[in-house]
Chain A
Amino acid sequence: MTEVRIAGLRKSFGGQPALVDVALEAAPGEMITLLGPSGCGKTTTLRCVAGFLAPDGGDILVDGRSILDVPLRRRDFGVVFQNYALFPHMTVTQNVAYGLRVRRIGAAEIASRVAASLAEVGLTGLGDRLPRTLSGGQQQRVALARALVIHPRLLLLDEPLANLDAQLRQEMRALIRAVQRRQGITAFYVTHDQAEAMASSDRVAVMERGRVAQFATPREIYQRPVSRYVAAFTGEASALAVTLRAAHAPDRYTVGLGDAQMEVPGAAGLSPGSRHFLMVRPQAVTFGPSGIPATVREVAFFGATQQGEVELAGQALRFVTDPNERVVAGETVHVTLDPAHAWLMPEAAA
């Protein structure tokens, strides 16, 4: 069980900062996901931890000891690459055995550990195949087995599901999470897919232009985002400009939206009288006989749901409803917002 602390990590490429000041930590056995769009620094962070890159500043502590001076090959971290990076000239068994072979471990132990590892990822019987004869999902399983067989102190996964189709992705996500939990390995997981991040991690770090924008549990990230950026990246959200009328508790406020008023949760310490943004998830929107009047701009049928956009007090608001509810573009509806799926953010945080 390994604990990791990353502090003040900086890295530039050709004078352009890629990591500005990254701070993260992982408790033993925790799965941390780095989430963000391409170019936000998530892969750079992972590559610094793995040792493929040397950071310009900051430190990475593993179990309290800096690893910056530990050469890559002595870190004992298992890395799973986006394109698998299986050795094409070696069989599945040879690929998995490689990390043990270079550690000069005895043949008998290698054989038993490789067999156990292949069984764990469900590849028993495919040991003699070459990687190119396997499907993408099978290749990713080999990559996972190869990283796990060395009993890594840390598991690092760089967009491991990016090259798989939707169904395999779900299967692999479950497998990775199950193995990680069973072995209690601390893991860092890089992805740009918010659903993947939500479903399979203990904590998520949303990254934005070389910094960690928010680092919290998936639930908190989704329900209490610190900025519009985080809100938008963790799922569909509308941002309504509202006026803060009064504060009740440190994190409960009354806001005015057009002519209507409502009570919503929000970030602590916002001052009344100023304009803020109300983040509204689509599922907060319900239509009924009473509420704030709005015009339906568009609506589309998605099978399990019906989604679209209404115009409310001159602002766009996304909604999701039951597919059988009658919503027609151009008609007027009455909107009620469920405060549980709304969150008030200061305007500056945009």
Chain B
Amino acid sequence: MSAADASAARPAQEGARVPSGRPLTPSLSRKGRGRLRAGPWLLATPAIVLLVLFLGAPYVDMVVMSLRTAGHGTPYGTGFTLHHYAEALGNPVYLGALGRSLMLGAIVTAGCLLLSYPIALHLAKAGRSHLFFYAIVISPLLVGVLVRNFGWLIILSVSGPLNQVLRGLGLIDMPLRLLFTQGAVALGLIHVFVPFMVLPIAGALRKIPPDLAEASDALGAGRWFGFWHVTLPLSFPGIQAGTILVFVLSVSAYVTPALLGGQGRTFLSILTVQELLGSFAWPLGATLALVMAAAMGLVVLGFLAATRRLAERTAR
């Protein structure tokens, strides 16, 4: 029996009901089970310790670090100052890089959405071949960002296949300089993040009862009308999740901009790492990282506010 059959075959537990119909005993079997009565928190302790100590504390440390004075010959000084925030928010170099990073995030998110939606629709519908196409979408995740960027390095190089094809078609006379441009970075990131967009959308699509589409058909609505007014809105929870994920990941991406991007007008993630590892200016680096986080947070909050009504109506 497959896992799905098992859960379908599991009958609902009898639960005492109040007049509102809320089941009183949804977790009958979770409570008072013979094992684990004192145990859940004991079992979770290693994970909690690991995360509090090596995820929580580092983020706190990052905030503290951003308030430190700059050091001389050391990564950071002993005093405290707000100077780095003034620097990060006042220096056009950093603000420009932040703007480019946010713009990159927007472009990559839009590109991912465009490429992912058809794939998600296909995955949600595909029958027996489902596993094969699912594997195609997952496979890049198993290979690592570096290797995938490497592929683009070869494809986009001056003597690479893309230039060859374009010349073969007679579209260009001279090979184009495709690499080390912001376009290359966007392309590389779109490729990296497509799976992160496909999976949540496909998940949301699969939750839409098929009879809704049939109902739309039965009411005489055309395919496009039904898609536009039924399928697309109902998949919005997936779109929302994928959009936020891809936006945050692409604004904060480091490897792809470092490998496929140019030297000049660069992105905030690159500048941040340069301050940290190149100049050993840890407080400034911490500040830049936090400014980036704050900017991403504001954009995400704005997006959530703008799409609140749609999300509320389509949430399930």
Contact = CB atoms under 8 A, between A and B. Distances in A.
Asked if chains A and B are in direct contact (CB within 8 A), the reply is: yes
Contact of A42 (B1, B14, B33): B14
Interface in B1-27: 1, 6, 9-11, 13-18, 24-25
Nearest to A46: B14
Given A47-B28, A51-B34, A53-B28, A41 B16 contact: yes
A301 interface: no
A44 B11 contact: no
A88 B14 CA distance: 23
Nearest to B32: A54
A163 B11 contact: yes
B129 interface: no
Interface size range of chain B in the complex? 10 to 19
B24 A38 contact: no
Contact of B13 (A41, A42, A43): A43
B17 A44 contact: no
A342 to B, nearest CB: 33
A324 interface: no
Nearest to A17: B16
B16 A13 contact: yes
A73 B1 contact: no
B138 to A, nearest CB: 26
A13 B11 contact: no
A18 B32 contact: no
Interface string A194-237: 00000000000000001000000000000000000000000000
Interface string A73-86: 10000000011000
A16 B18 contact: yes
Interface string B28-63: 110111100000000000000000000000000000
Contacts of B16: 13, 16-18, 39-41, 44, 210
Given A14-B24, A18-B25, A83 B11 contact: yes
Contacts of B6: 88
A114 to B, nearest CB: 23
Interface string A60-77: 000000000001110000
A52 B24 contact: no
Contacts of B13: 43
Contacts, number: 59
A132 interface: yes
B1 A88 contact: yes
A72 B32 CA distance: 10
Interface in A21-70: 38-44, 47, 51-54
Interface in A148-191: 159, 162-163
A82 B10 CA distance: 9
B28 A44 contact: yes
A21 B74 CA distance: 72
Nearest to A12: B24
A18 B22 CA distance: 13
Contacts of A39: 14-17, 24
A14 B34 CA distance: 20
Contacts of A54: 31-32
Interface centre among B9, B11, B25 (most CB of A within 10 A): B25
Contact of B34 (A16, A72, A159, A210): A72
Contacts of B33: 52, 72
A83 B9 contact: yes
Contacts of B28: 13, 43-44, 47, 52-53
A83 B12 CA distance: 10
B59 to A, nearest CB: 35
Contacts of B14: 38-39, 42-44, 159
Nearest to B13: A43
A44 B15 CA distance: 8
Given A14-B24, A18-B16, A39-B17, A71 B34 contact: yes
A87 B172 CA distance: 66
B8 to A, nearest CB: 11
A210 B16 CA distance: 8
Contacts of B29: 52
B34 A73 contact: yes
A13 B34 contact: no
A40 B18 CA distance: 10
Contact of A13 (B1, B9, B10, B25): B25
A38 B34 contact: no
Nearest to B33: A52
Given A14-B24, A88-B1, A82 B11 contact: yes
A83 B10 CA distance: 6
Contacts of B24: 13-14, 16, 18, 39
Nearest to A38: B14
Contacts of A71: 34
Interface string B214-236: 00000000000000000000000
Nearest to A40: B16
A52 B114 CA distance: 51
A270 to B, nearest CB: 32
The 9 closest A-B pairs by CB, nearest first: A18-B16, A43-B14, A72-B34, A39-B17, A13-B24, A16-B24, A132-B1, A54-B32, A39-B16
23 contacts: A13-B15, A13-B25, A13-B28, A17-B16, A18-B15, A18-B16, A18-B25, A38-B14, A39-B15, A39-B17, A41-B16, A42-B14, A44-B28, A51-B32, A51-B34, A53-B28, A53-B31, A54-B31, A72-B33, A82-B11, A83-B9, A83-B10, A88-B1
Interface of A: 13-14, 16-18, 38-44, 47, 51-54, 71-73, 82-83, 88, 132, 159, 162-163, 210
Given A16-B18, A18-B15, A18-B16, 18 more contacts: A13-B28, A14-B24, A38-B17, A39-B14, A39-B16, A39-B17, A39-B24, A40-B16, A43-B28, A44-B14, A47-B28, A52-B32, A53-B28, A72-B33, A83-B10, A83-B11, A88-B1, A163-B11
